[in-house]
Homo-oligomer: A and B are copies of this chain.
Amino acid sequence: MSLLVVGSVALDSVETPFGSREEALGGSAVYFSHAACLLHPVQAVGVVGSDFPVGPLERLAKRGVDISGIERKSGESFRWKGKYSYDLQNRDTIATALGVFADFDPKLPDPFRNAAYVFLGNIDPELQLSVLAQVKQPELVACDTMNYWIHGKRDVLLELLRQIDVLVVNDAEARELSGDWNVYRAARWILERGPRIAVIKQGVYGAVLVEQGRIFYVPGYPLEEVFDPTGAGDSFAGGFMGHLARTQDTSSANLRRAMVYGSAMGSFAVERFSTERFDEIGVAEVTERVREFAELVRFDIEPEAGNKP
Contact A296 B222 (CB under 8 A): no
Number of contacting residues on A, CB 8 A? Answer: 43
Enumerate chain B residues within 8 angstroms of A253, measured Cβ to Cβ: 299-300
Given A86-B181, A182-B226, A219-B217, the answer on whether A290 and B296 have CB atoms closer than 8 Å is no
A294 sits at the interface (CB 8 A)? yes
Contact B296 A87 (CB under 8 A): no
A110 sits at the interface (CB 8 A)? no
A1-15 residues with Cβ-Cβ distance < 8 A to B are: none
A59 sits at the interface (CB 8 A)? no
The dominant DSSP class at the A interface is: mixed
Enumerate chain B residues within 8 angstroms of A247, measured Cβ to Cβ: 302
A203 CB to closest chain B CB (Å) equals 9
- Which of A217, A224, A247, A304 has the most C-beta atoms of chain B within 10 angstroms of its own C-beta? A217
Contact B185 A224 (CB under 8 A): yes
Q: Mark A183-223, 1 if CB is under 8 A from B, else 0.
A: 01100100000000000001001101000000111110011
Contact B182 A208 (CB under 8 A): no
Given A297-B217, A297-B297, the answer on whether A302 and B184 have CB atoms closer than 8 Å is no
